[in-house]
Amino acid sequence: MQVSIKYFASLRELLGEASAIVDIEDNVTVNALWLLIIKRKNIEFDNVMMTVNMEYVKPEHRLKPGDEVGFFPPVTGG
């Protein structure tokens, strides 16, 4: 199945792209997708916020065909 991915803020620079469309297996969690991405890009980035279809989700959220996934670095305030 295909899902689209958008990377925000420092993740965009770290990964070298703003978005991607990827083919993944059925019944994959958003966290499993993130782990696949960082493995492919050979980077380490543990703390990431995740959205699916513009709603924040927990890492165990299961993806469906056509979902739009967003990955954000943690937001801090001051």
Domain boundaries, the chain: 2-72
- pLDDT for 10-55, tens place per residue? 999 999 999 999 999 999 999 999 999 999 999 888 889 999 999 9
pLDDT of 65 reads 97
Query: Residue 78 above 70 pLDDT?
Result: no
- The pLDDT assigned to 46 comes to 81
Asked whether 64 and 2 are in contact (CB, 8 A), the reply is no
H/E run at residue 36: helix 30-41
pLDDT at 76: 60
Q: What is the pTM of this model?
A: 0.91
Q: Which CATH class is domain 2-72?
A: alpha beta
Please compute the mean of the pLDDT values over residues 65-77 and round it to a whole number. 88
Phi and psi angles of residue 13, each rounded to the nearest 5 degrees, phi first? -70, -40
* CB distance 20 to 11 below 8 Å: no
Distance of alpha carbon 33 from alpha carbon 39, whole angstroms: 10
